[in-house]
Chains A and B, each alone.
Chain A
């Protein structure tokens, strides 16, 4: 472990990230399933994708204006995704074909 002031700086930064997440909705992936399959968010809101499973997942969307690809997300990681444009989004896991959810982004 680094010296105390350095650890505190890391804690401070990490804590801020946690605080940012605390207000956003969480989607978990345990059991190779999304915890929610239909979500509505407002433009500019964030969903946090948590991999609490024991395998890696690779979540992506090719829906127009809301494309993204998280790449390989290892167990024990959380990634926030902010939806800046309205629309209907299909989110899938590239690895696990049964993992699907829909997000509706409204004004």
Chain B
């Protein structure tokens, strides 16, 4: 692996830039090249420090703009919203006939009663066997860039059929799925209304379920009222927690924006054998033990926490971040011990509880026969 050439273009230089750089530590660290075949690589040069001008500190008004709820739900151009798709998708989502044993539906693990998760450390699949990771919520999935803890599904449509056909989950091969749906008379008109003039295939099941899922959005929370200017909507303690979230605790660097996630992958130093996204990117050190940053809406109702449900409470979560977890090469550069005081920790937890709103009960549809 060749190091990028230095000085090959002549030795003229700007004295002022050189002096500024001389005042900085010159990084001459190696660049990670593990796993790349020689002769098949672009040439990476040595990194150097540059001066990045710091902007003015964020004002509270600016923060309020960053955290404002969007006015609309985005639907993709290749699977736009229709009421018929949502009605079909909702029925399919709650229909246990989509599983081999007639025992599970999407709603078994992504249950509206548990913040659209299942309240368990890890999901339960076919034959009541415990699965490898915690069931994620579908709340605000419409706004997510990528899906599953390890990011292996690029869209909700891609994700929807996975648990259906996987033998350890709903255990329903897709050709059987279509045969089973075909003999349920009530589904005929629903599919025709959702996908007029189309030959129905598994992808239509996925598109309908994805469309329904996109309608599941977290309700207005006290935090939102405060963002809109109601100073009495949350406690002073929660306001301090929000300030810490955006400053000393640094949570906002991954849990950013109104849904409190940028969908990024990080190893946060948990004791778990699971390598997460590292399975798909084995040569990238920072992806080992890296999992997707979840959103924090309704988070008070959605324990236990982490990809393996290993942290039982928000207090335990804050304690974990305060210690920084296991200091290993794969750990995110954003994770380090925080030295939070006891009252700072309770402030953070108080803030997180303001993200829980009044949830309207979900009606379960009468399923087609």
Contact = CB atoms under 8 A, between A and B. Distances in A.
Interface string B283-307: 1111100100000000000000000
Interface string B35-56: 1110011111111111110000
Contacts of B32: 69-72
A20 interface: yes
A: contact size bracket: 35 or more
A58 B286 CA distance: 8
A80 B45 contact: yes
B333 A15 contact: no
A96 B37 CA distance: 25
Contacts, number: 176
Contact of A19 (B12, B48, B286): B12
Contact of B333 (A50, A72, A81, A85): A72
B: contact size bracket: 35 or more
A71 to B, nearest CB: 3
Contacts of B72: none
A71 B285 contact: yes
A26 to B, nearest CB: 10
B263 interface: yes
A90 interface: no
Interface in A49-75: 50-52, 54-56, 58, 60-61, 64-75
B349 to A, nearest CB: 24
B36 A69 contact: yes
A82 interface: yes
A61 B4 CA distance: 17
Interface in A1-45: 1, 7-8, 10-20, 23, 32
Contacts of A69: 32-36, 283-284
Given A68-B42, A95-B286, 17 more contacts: A11-B22, A15-B13, A15-B14, A15-B17, A18-B14, A18-B21, A56-B334, A66-B42, A68-B44, A70-B32, A71-B31, A72-B285, A78-B50, A80-B45, A82-B44, A83-B42, A83-B43
Ranked 9 nearest A-B pairs via Cβ = A15-B13, A15-B18, A71-B32, A80-B45, A11-B22, A14-B21, A56-B333, A82-B43, A11-B18
